[in-house]
């Protein structure tokens, strides 16, 4: 991580040092001799500044040279539902201070409020984007920053909405301090490597708050994902660090706090999962660590399929979940150790803080309801109560190797226990 941070700082230094001492500022304002942003860009030399005064601008802005494009007084770039308001086709570009609205949409091209093509050292910050198909789109770019933007759309179905911040085939990008709402996916990564996602708030999106596909060696930390259609999905990915995030109120028949599919050698730690239908759903995951997470008030805390193996669950807190763990097979090749389970009814005679008898987090009724969802109508019934009592007397009804042999008697202390 230190080397990656150095590379970002070096990139920023290269970005700022590229400006020549003789750089000029071009002022664009409605009703003046220079009222077109594209005209100002055409006149500008590399590393000049185009300063745009407040007003309404109905043009498709194309930045084709290194420069700073800065709005003053929140000028509005309006795509009128027909075109792409801002296209960046050069490296060493900074865009800030604009309100970008109503991009066009098309079935053959992904139009966005701000789209970056094949560029390096691009900085998009402090903009408001509203009612765009895609919000900010990075295509085949590297060493770019997207920070402090507010993105809002009003999508109702996946087919007619685009993603808030979309990155395709990128490397070493930094996405931080953005607020995203109402898009298809809040943040979408596909073939993106060595990148970071920090302190973003992604809520009320149609599908996922965050969606990873084939994106390796990335970090996402200190983000909030709430009220999204299906939560967060990380798929076909390896070596991802997921820490200090909040996954809350992702509720629905197919909703998850986090969906993990075919990921390898990743770390999921210090996160809060609160009030999700399923906190974590795992399929085809191997050699990953899940530590110091808090699962509170979820329907299912963990659903782990038999296709998962060599994953470690340690020092997690399971509190007030309807079901703690469910699986679809009697065989489990994963390790649970020293977690806190509020359903645990064992004892600690030697007072070392660890239960003297193992805890079986998988209940028989949880497995039945996973296979037959309509069985949930019997939850809290007298028959289910008898079934639970039978499990305590005959624990062999549940997977023998899916148990915590050293359960904690008290919750593991974590600094992130406040949910948002």
Q: Where are the domains of the chain?
A: 1-229, 231-362+399-420
Distance CA 248, CA 273 (A): 6
pLDDT exceeding 70 applies to what percent of the chain? 84
pLDDT of residue 109: 84
Higher pLDDT, 270 or 384: 270
pLDDT digits (tens, 9 = 90+) for 77-119: 999 999 999 999 999 999 999 999 999 988 778 999 999 999 9
| Nearest residue to 297 (alpha-carbon basis) of 316, 321, 324 | 321
Residue 69 has pLDDT above 90, yes or no: yes
Count Cβ atoms within 10 A of the Cβ of residue 60 and give its class: 0-12 exposed, 13-18 middle, 19 or more buried. middle
pLDDT of residue 207: 95
Lowest-confidence pick of 81-95, 153-167, 308-322: 153-167
Higher pLDDT, 186 or 323: 186
Q: What average pLDDT does the segment 191-215 reach? A: 96
Q: Which CATH superfamily is domain 1-229 in?
A: Single-stranded right-handed beta-helix, Pectin lyase-like (2.160.20.10)
Note the maximum CA span of the chain.
Answer: 87
User: How many angstroms from the chain centroid is the CA of residue 293?
Assistant: 16
Distance CA 261, CA 282 (A): 6
Distance CA 303, CA 293 (A): 15
Distance CA 68, CA 14 (A): 14
Backbone angles phi, psi at 274, to 5 degrees: -130, 125
pLDDT of residue 419: 44
Place of tokens 């202390």: 413
Cα dihedral 162, 163, 169, 170 sign? positive
Q: What average pLDDT does the segment 22-51 reach? A: 95
Sheet holding 208-213, edge to edge: 61-63, 86-88, 112-117, 134-139, 165-171, 187-193, 208-213, 231-238, 256-264, 278-283, 300-304, 323-326
pLDDT of residue 19: 52
pLDDT exceeding 90 applies to what percent of the chain? 72
Residue-wise DSSP of 166-199: EEEEEES-EEES-EEESSSSSEEEEEEES-EEES
pLDDT of residue 361: 84
Helices (H), 244-379: 364-371
Residue 10 has pLDDT above 60, yes or no: no
Q: What average pLDDT does the segment 280-306 reach? A: 94
Backbone angles phi, psi at 166, to 5 degrees: -120, 130
Residue 296 has pLDDT above 50, yes or no: yes
Rg of the chain (C-alpha set): 25
| Nearest residue to 265 (alpha-carbon basis) of 240, 236, 233 | 240
Residue 316 has pLDDT above 50, yes or no: yes
Residue 16 has pLDDT above 70, yes or no: no
pLDDT digits (tens, 9 = 90+) for 172-181: 999 999 999 9
Which secondary structure element, helix H or strand E, spans residue 264, and what is its range?
A: strand 256-264
Distance CA 47, CA 296 (A): 51
* Residue 329 pLDDT grade (very low, low, confident, very high; cuts 50, 70, 90): confident
| Nearest residue to 278 (alpha-carbon basis) of 328, 322, 332 | 322
Residue 276 has pLDDT above 80, yes or no: yes
pLDDT of residue 155: 83
Higher pLDDT, 135 or 413: 135
| Cβ neighbours around 179 below 10 Å, total | 17
Report whether 140 contacts 118 (CB < 8 A): yes
Answer yes or no: pTM beyond 0.75: yes
**Which residues on adjacent β-strands are paired with residue 233?**
211, 259
Cα dihedral 257, 173, 243, 147 sign? negative
Residue 298 has pLDDT above 80, yes or no: yes
Place of tokens 């895609």: 134
């Amino acid at each position: 991580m230190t080397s990656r941070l150095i590379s970002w700082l070096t990139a920023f230094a290269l970005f700022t040092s590229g400006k020549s001492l003789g750089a000029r500022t071009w002022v664009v304002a409605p009703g003046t001799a220079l009222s077109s942003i594209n005209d100002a860009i055409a006149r500008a030399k590399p590393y000049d500044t185009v300063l745009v005064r407040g007003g309404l601008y109905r043009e498709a802005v194309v930045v084709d040279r290194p420069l700073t494009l800065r709005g003053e007084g929140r000028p509005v770039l309006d795509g009128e539902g027909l075109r792409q308001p801002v296209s960046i086709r050069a490296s060493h570009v900074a865009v800030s201070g604009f309100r970008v609205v109503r991009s066009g949409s098309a079935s053959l091209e992904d139009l966005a409020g701000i789209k970056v093509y094949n560029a390096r050292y691009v900085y998009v910050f402090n903009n408001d984007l509203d009612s765009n198909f895609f919000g900010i789109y990075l295509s085949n770019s590297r060493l770019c920053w997207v920070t402090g933007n507010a993105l809002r759309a009003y999508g109702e179905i996946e087919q007619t909405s685009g993603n808030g911040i979309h990155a395709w085939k990128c490397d070493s990008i930094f996405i931080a301090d953005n607020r995203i709402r109402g898009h298809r996916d809040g943040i979408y990564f596909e073939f993106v490597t060595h990148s970071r996602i920090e302190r973003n708030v992604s809520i009320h999106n149609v599908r996922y708050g965050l969606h990873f596909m084939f994106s390796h060696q990335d970090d996402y930390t200190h983000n909030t994902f709430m009220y999204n259609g299906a939560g967060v999905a990380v798929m076909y990915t390896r070596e991802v660090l997921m820490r200090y995030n909040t996954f809350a109120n992702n509720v629905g028949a197919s909703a998850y706090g986090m969906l993990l599919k075919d990921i390898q050698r990743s770390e999921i730690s210090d996160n809060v999962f609160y009030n999700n239908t399923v906190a974590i759903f795992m399929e085809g995951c191997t050699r990953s660590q899940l530590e110091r997470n808090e699962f509170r008030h979820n329907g299912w805390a963990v659903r782990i399929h038999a296709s998962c193996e060599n994953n470690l669950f340690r020092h997690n807190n399971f509190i007030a979940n309807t079901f703690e763990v469910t699986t679809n097979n009697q065989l489990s090749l994963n390790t649970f150790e020293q977690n806190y389970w509020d359903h645990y009814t064992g004892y600690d005679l030697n007072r070392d803080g660890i239960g003297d008898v193992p805890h079986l987090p998988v209940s028989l009724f949880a497995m039945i309801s996973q296979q037959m969802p309509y069985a949930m109508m019997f939850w809290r019934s007298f028959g289910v109560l008898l079934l639970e009592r039978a499990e305590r007397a005959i624990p062999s009804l549940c997977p023998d190797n899916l148990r915590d042999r050293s359960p904690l008697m008290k919750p593991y202390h974590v600094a992130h226990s406040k949910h948002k």
